[in-house]
Amino acid sequence: MKRLVKGFFISLSMFSTVPLRSMWDQKALHWVMPTFPVVGLVIGGLWYGIAWMLMSFEIPLMLQAVGVLLVPLLLTGGIHLDGYMDVADAVSSRADLKKKQAILVDPHIGAFAAMALGVYLLAGFAVVYSLIEMSVTLWPLVFIPIWSRCLAGLILLIGKPMKKTGFVAMFRENNGSCQIACLWFWLTLSTVVAYVLGGLTLMYPLVAVLISGLIATVSVGRKLDGINGDVCGFVITVSELAGLFVLIFI
């Protein structure tokens, strides 16, 4: 239990901007991914709370939409958006596999990454603005980050790694069925809670998150010959936007 708790705090410190003192423990690393969805709960809870407060003030809808869109980016430090941009840059280059993988780890921002960022921000703003204007319930903001991280965690632990060393290898070491079962547990529990609170309305964003995330994984994984941390960031970014987008039509 102690290492499980440490794994959560390591995950929270790595994948969010929540200020924490260093709790690094090499022996607890195999619990980082199984507790990743709990980080999503923290992000989602703060996202919903801040969004609710922004919408309580008499400020223009455009400013509300910008604020709601930026909350998860600020809470994660943009770490997943960075992976999204890296993957977009590599895949859009249409180069050979070796060149794509080199672009993926290049710290410099490329033209395709900049364009992908612009598309994401414009699409995200349009979706959030529409949701606020239509007075759509914002309860999904709590659950979407949980579901996206459940999916990303499963992909990282089960999917084909791009390399035998690095980010993915670090978290896959000594991971077994227990860690994978934890991710399924969080996915199942959050789904049940979402259904109890919102009924079928909250099941649509769940389906959108899972389907878009799996499509993104298969498509990108084939082009890059495997998955890594950037691919997981890409999946989280794309699936969360899809989860919000589907709310416009229900």
Q: What is the DSSP string of the chain?
A: -HHHHHHHHHHHHHHS---------GGGGGGTTTTHHHHHHHHHHHHHHHHHHHHHS---HHHHHHHHHHHHHHHHTTHHHHHHHHHHHHHHT---HHHHHHHHH--SPPHHHHHHHHHHHHHHHHHHHHHHHTT---THHHHHHHHHHHHHHHHHHHSPBS-SSSHHHHHHTT--HHHHHHHHHHHHHHHHHHHHHHGGGGHHHHHHHHHHHHHHHHHHHHHHTSB-HHHHHHHHHHHHHHHHHGGGG-
Nearest-angstrom CA–CA distance, 126 and 65:
8
- 0.95 exceeded by pTM: no
Residue 118 pLDDT: 97
Nearest-angstrom CA–CA distance, 203 and 201:
6
Nearest-angstrom CA–CA distance, 229 and 198:
32
Residue 178 pLDDT: 84
* Residue 236: inside a domain: yes
List per-residue pLDDT tens for the chain, 250 residues long.
677 788 888 889 889 998 877 666 777 777 888 899 999 999 999 999 999 999 888 889 999 999 999 999 999 999 999 999 999 999 998 889 999 999 998 888 899 999 999 999 999 999 999 999 998 888 899 999 999 999 999 999 888 888 766 666 676 666 668 888 999 999 999 999 999 998 888 999 999 999 999 999 999 999 999 999 899 999 999 999 999 999 998 8
Residue 162 pLDDT: 84
Range of the domain at 134: 60-249
* Residue 2: inside a domain: no
pLDDT digits (tens, 9 = 90+) for 27-52: 777 788 889 999 999 999 999 999 99
* Residue 23: inside a domain: no
* Residue 146: inside a domain: yes
Please give the tally of structural domains in the chain: 1
pLDDT digits (tens, 9 = 90+) for 189-222: 999 999 999 888 899 999 999 999 999 999 999 9
Residue 22 pLDDT: 65
* Residue 16: inside a domain: no
* Residue 213: inside a domain: yes
Residue 84 pLDDT: 96
Residue 5 pLDDT: 83
Residue 208 pLDDT: 97
> Which residues, in sequence order, are CB contacts of 70 under 8 Å at separation 6+?
none
* Residue 35: inside a domain: no
* Residue 147: inside a domain: yes
- 196-203 contacts: CB < 8 A, separation 24 or more? 197/139, 198/137, 198/139, 198/140, 201/137, 201/250, 202/139, 202/140, 202/143
